[in-house]
Amino acid sequence: MLNTKVIECIPLNLYLSAKFLVLLQVTSHNEFIKTNREDIRLYLKREDLIHPYISGNKYRKLKYNIKEALTQNCESLLTFGGAYSNHIAAVAYAGSINGLKTIGVIRGDELAAEIPNNPTLTFAQQHGMQFKFLSRSSYRNKMSNTFIEELNNQFNNFYLIPEGGTNALAVKGCEEILTDNDSQFDFICCSVGTGGTLSGLINASKSHQRILGFPALNGDFLNNDIRKFVSTSNWKILNEYNFGGYAKINHELVNFINGFKREHDILLDPIYTSKMMFGVLDLINNNYFSKGARILAIHTGGIQGVDGMNLKLKRKNWPLILKQ
């Protein structure tokens, strides 16, 4: 049986060691964020720092899935994602250090000719990922029995990880984000994509805590998706801060990301955590939280997506997200 070692930070040489995702359980530190309300304590859990290439919730989601893939003696990991997917990049790197081939089914067949101009796909390819590009209409049927059978015939002996990485094993991994010390907080806030991270936080939360989810995309389906993995009701989805949908951004959000970086020296990704932090601070300023509230927000990583977003912003002649 594998021994699990709990550590606060990982030496760089261990980042690159084989099978470390299976061997190591990590914890991240909470960083105080000053706000306009002296009577409220806000902290940001720095999950973005637990690994340079598999940061935040992607590390958590992949941990037990990779262990299961190895247990089943699978030769490869197969998953799905878009042009700038954090999940695609994380799976490629995680597979490479665990001796597993990786296959990415990518939304948008036009991207096949754009790999050199796409930082995420370039990174994934450099770490051994093989791509299968689908038209956007075909991609909508990616989980149909017929298409999965086609994939089985083409690639053989793969371990399938859903788009975004959410399944029961991913939720199990995300249950390890919160520590015993985090029981002091009244509210836990997190961005939401497929709902796996929020589900893990809900399952790990204490009865006195309220879990707030900030979706990065439009749609009411998330409530039903999350209910598949949780049995408590101490959570709420807040849909007011998605900025128009997945990967949608405007000048206000770019200015917020850059202002947050200047004030706190913390870079927020433009797809998930920035929208959540914008929402949390807006709620604080509008007295959503009562006096004395203790709030823990989760930085779920995703910084690799900044380069791709800046390419889009540059084409629009918009201000860029500042990384330094």
Encode pLDDT of 187-219 as tens digits.
999 999 999 999 999 999 999 999 999 999 987
Distances, alpha carbon 110 to alpha carbons 120, 135, 222, in Å: 15, 8, 29
| Domains annotated on the chain, with CATH | 16-55+171-315 (3.40.50.1100), 59-165 (3.40.50.1100)
Quickly state the pLDDT bin for 5 (edges 50, 70, 90).
very low
Choose among 71, 61, 83, 64: nearest CA to 162: 61
pLDDT at site 26: 84
Q: Please, which residues bridge with residue 41 across strands?
A: 294
pLDDT digits (tens, 9 = 90+) for 296-313: 999 999 999 999 999 999
Mean pLDDT for the chain?
92
Q: What is the largest CA-CA distance in the chain?
A: 60
Quickly state the pLDDT bin for 162 (edges 50, 70, 90).
very high
pTM > 0.85? yes
Distances, alpha carbon 133 to alpha carbons 104, 122, 261, in Å: 8, 14, 35
7 pLDDT above the threshold of 70 = no
Quickly state the pLDDT bin for 168 (edges 50, 70, 90).
very high
Give the integer Cα–Cα distance in Å for 57 and 295: 19
Pick the more confident residue, 10 or 133: 133
